[in-house]
Structure 1
């Protein structure tokens, strides 16, 4: 059985639950300061005045810790004005999301490497919620999401290995299980999956859909300009 080893001081003052929260908080601060790639478990332990063993008591490895930190970063990122028109909600949320990615270097890579993680699902749930309220449904809601995914997360630049057209961008079974286990946290996502509106996302399937919508948007703008003149 693994034993929690704390240096004197923190062990006397605080319990294990506090330490877990403190690990996340300190890691988040370090990531914001220098980027996730430069954060080490030793660094975190020194900041908290504990041994490295104490960190592994709460998190199996650094990836698990980073995944929880990413979740904490997006837990408080909400749609600020739900009464606004959906386009304004969407614009504000995407800009706020992008700001978080810039604020925490390396965060985008963590999200793309863990597409079934709570952090990634929180983002997807929020985007689906906005699109659903706007009136998108059936395949059109996934097409709209595809356009936004490729606009916000340039996957071809984030992958370390070549991406084939048929590569799954998520594990459908894992996503379904995670969402349906917490329907209260991902209500829109859960409703879509229960209603049979789930979709298997591949690079080759999403990219053309996103490109078509972007081109259609540009064509609409061009037509509007020509009509005005």
Structure 2
């Protein structure tokens, strides 16, 4: 199919976005191009620009599609339970679409469909005594979880890229001239869970996101109790 191909009757923006979502699930949000998407739909790239826009616009629509699947928890939940009810199911949804976590880290606050979740999350923290630190606490919880998730996404995008490859890191760590007991602990707890087949890797990432979430919640609770650090 060439760029001179005619527009296809019946091709809708929703169908284009659906195919872009499918490509993202198969590869990575940044792992496909407009031309890849056009080939998949058997149309010219110019058709996609006409119906939806360029890569940035299509990517934004993909992220909106993913976010629409996330439910806002019940506002009556205690704040820690509210964030568990938000983050843990959201991890499964966002984690199935590599690259979306990093996009949200970079652009999330500009995404209008996210605003009701942000508003509810800050309101829950205000209700439970976070005061002027409620918005910052929201950002810490959500951004820490997204960062943990994005790390695995990006590693899969460059999984054969030398020093960033986990197998390479594991071999180098075990060969290093240092305390082997400490190194083995690092390897067994921080590298081994993320090496193996996809199911094992995903399970390791799920555990890590939950760990980051719990440590963030505990840390914020302790800071709230003892007083916030001066800016």
TM-score band, normalised by shorter chain: 0.5 to 0.7
For the aligned residue pairs, the C-alpha RMSD in angstroms reads 3.5
Partner of 1:180: none
Post-superposition Cα deviations, 1:65-90, rounded to whole Å, max 9, x if no partner, equal 10111011102311255555443332
* TM-aligned CA distance change 1:100 to 1:52, over 3 Å: same
Unaligned runs of 5+ in 1: 159-209, 221-229
**Cα 1:81–1:4, aligned 2, differ >3 Å: closer, same or farther?**
farther
Q: What TM-score do the two structures reach when normalised by structure 2? A: 0.55
CA distance in 2, matches of 1:215, 1:83: 20
TM-score (norm 1): 0.56
1:56-95 superposed matches below 5 A:
56-79=49-72, 81=74, 84-95=77-88
Q: Map 1:80-229 onto structure 2 (within 5 A).
A: 81=74, 84-118=77-111, 121-133=112-124, 135-136=127-128, 138-154=131-147, 214=219, 216-217=221-222
CA contact (8 A) 1:131 1:141 kept: yes
Task: Name the CA distance, whole Å, in 1 between partners of 2:109 and 2:224.
Answer: 35
Q: 1:53 to 1:218 in 2, by over 3 A?
A: same
Distance in 2 separating the partners of 1:143 and 1:110 = 19
Q: Which has the higher helix share?
A: 2
- Distance of 2:100 and 2:69 partners within structure 1: 16
1:42-76, CA deviations, whole angstroms, 9 ceiling, x for partnerless residues? 22112222211110113331011101110111023
